[in-house]
Amino acid sequence: MKIFLDMVGCRLNQSEIERMALDFLARGEEVVSNPSEADLIVVNTCCVTAKACADSRKTIRHYQRETNAEVVATGCYVSAFEGQAFELVGESRLFPNESKDALPSLITGINLPRDSFFVSGKPELGPRSRTRGFLKVQDGCNNYCTYCLTRVARGKSRSIPADEVIQQAQQAETSGIKEIVLTGVQIGSWGKDFAGEARIADLVNALLRRTSIPRVRISSIEPWDIDDALLGCFSNPRLCPHLHIPLQSGSEAVLQRMARPFSAESFRLLMLKIQEKLPGLMISTDLITGFPGETEALFEETRAFVQEMDFSGGHVFKFSPMVGTVAARMDERVPERVSHARSQELRRILQEKTRRKQTAKIGAAVEVLWEHGRENRYSGFTRDYFRIQTTSSLNLSNMIGTARVTGLTRGGILLADAPQAPEPDEND
């Protein structure tokens, strides 16, 4: 059977289709990079916003309309809106999150323990192929943020045992992957559901100790999960000096309505601690504008707070009322035009911060993992997570090298000199 995998949403969904591809390969199936070749198409869906839900439906319909393959759906949209998903694909083609890990077994009828196989090589996923490897270390969430459906869609926090994570990292290393990205819904909660005192810093240290992958990167992590032990991990140069820490709002009143279990002041203190201990660490963030009850004065608190923080960039989302959340039932809705204007203002501030940090790199030599190539054009990320582009007649894909930053595009991407071919060894 030929199988094509696609996803909507976050890095966690990316990590899941990468793992699913390996699971199908281990069962003797073929993973293809073109949906027109597939007998079966799996879509891993998302429900983080109304747009993500719409994109999930659109993706499913696209493959139903444009291919002759059987289309099955899994993921958060399926779990949160099972009735709608049923109307799209039918009951036999629905795999809610609780059965996602078993999907390859259920489809093929071949049971195979997840830790009993080793597949060499990295599956080709077409448009979803990535040079970096995304490793799921945790799933679910124990928080009750009033705007979020994740707990409904994915359940309580569950950690993946360290040995299984390390086995996946070792497999990625054998496949030639140069950077792994640790993903999850709330990765900072890793280990808290185990007996004992295991925490995310222990997992990071174990990965650094038991693998030789040149780069390990931590994806989004909540501010209350960042402690001295985790910050201490950055003394190892293989851990990329970047953290994405969601703020959501700089207003104490709005944070309380969101039921975020921290304050703006505690976030400020965390930022000061990081600046003191790790001055070179880049920090990006997430923000939500137009949350119910966000008055002009409360938005000004957020605007001033974001202006104060030393962010390297971030994402701004307009509040999206999701059926099934507390926030969807709240009064004092912010008009769309106001929410839009506020999101534009926060994006402007973050873009200015990003540009200042990027401009400071011009003329400097930076380490880059080159990821994509088309017509001699390559792009990749610096260790501190700035995208950079170059042109080269060499094949740079999945190569780590040093590049000199020469400029910055209007779109906010660093430019680098064309890397040169290595000089021949005198002993050759």
Domain membership flag for residue 265: no
Q: List, for residues 269-317, the tens digit of each pLDDT value.
A: 999 999 999 999 999 999 999 999 999 999 999 999 999 999 999 999 9
Domain membership flag for residue 258: no
Tokens of 302: 């957020």
Highest mean pLDDT, choosing among 99-103, 105-109, 216-220, 376-380: 216-220
Domain membership flag for residue 315: no
Bridge partner list, 270: none
Domain membership flag for residue 311: no
Alpha-carbon Rg for the chain, nearest whole angstrom, is: 22
- Output the CA torsion 84→85→87→88 (10° steps): 130
pLDDT of 115 above 70: no
176-203 burial, b for 16+ CB within 10 Å, e for fewer? ebbbbbbbbbbbbbbbbeeeeebbbbbb
pLDDT of 196 above 90: no
Domain membership flag for residue 241: no
Predicted pLDDT at 423: 47
CATH of the domain at 19: 3.40.50.2300
The chain-wide mean pLDDT, for the chain, equals: 91
Average of per-residue pLDDT across 93-100: 90
Domain membership flag for residue 383: yes
pTM of the model: 0.89
Domain membership flag for residue 206: no
Residue 303, C-beta contacts closer than 8 angstroms, at least 6 positions apart: 250, 342, 345, 346, 349
CA-CA distance, 81 to 79, in Å (whole number)?
6
Reported for 30-33, long-range contacts at CB under 8 A and 24+ positions apart, including other chains, are 30/1, 30/2, 30/3, 31/2, 31/3, 31/4, 31/5, 31/123, 31/124, 31/125, 32/2, 32/3, 32/4, 32/124, 32/126, 33/4, 33/124, 33/125, 33/126, 33/129
Predicted pLDDT at 249: 98
Domain membership flag for residue 43: yes
pLDDT of 123 above 80: no
Cβ 164 vs Cβ 118: under 8 Å: no
Q: Select from 87, 108, 125 the last residue of a domain.
A: 125
Q: List, for residues 44-84, the tens digit of each pLDDT value.
A: 999 888 899 999 999 999 999 999 999 999 999 999 898 99
Q: List, for residues 132-185, the tens digit of each pLDDT value.
A: 888 999 999 999 999 998 888 899 999 999 999 999 899 889 888 999 999 999
Residue-range definition of the domain harbouring residue 400: 365-416
235-271 burial, b for 16+ CB within 10 Å, e for fewer? eeebbbbbbbbbbbbbbeebbebbebeeebeebeebb
Q: Select from 125, 155, 187 the last residue of a domain.
A: 125
Predicted pLDDT at 428: 40
Q: Select from 105, 125, 145 the last residue of a domain.
A: 125
Number of domains observed in the structure of the chain: 2
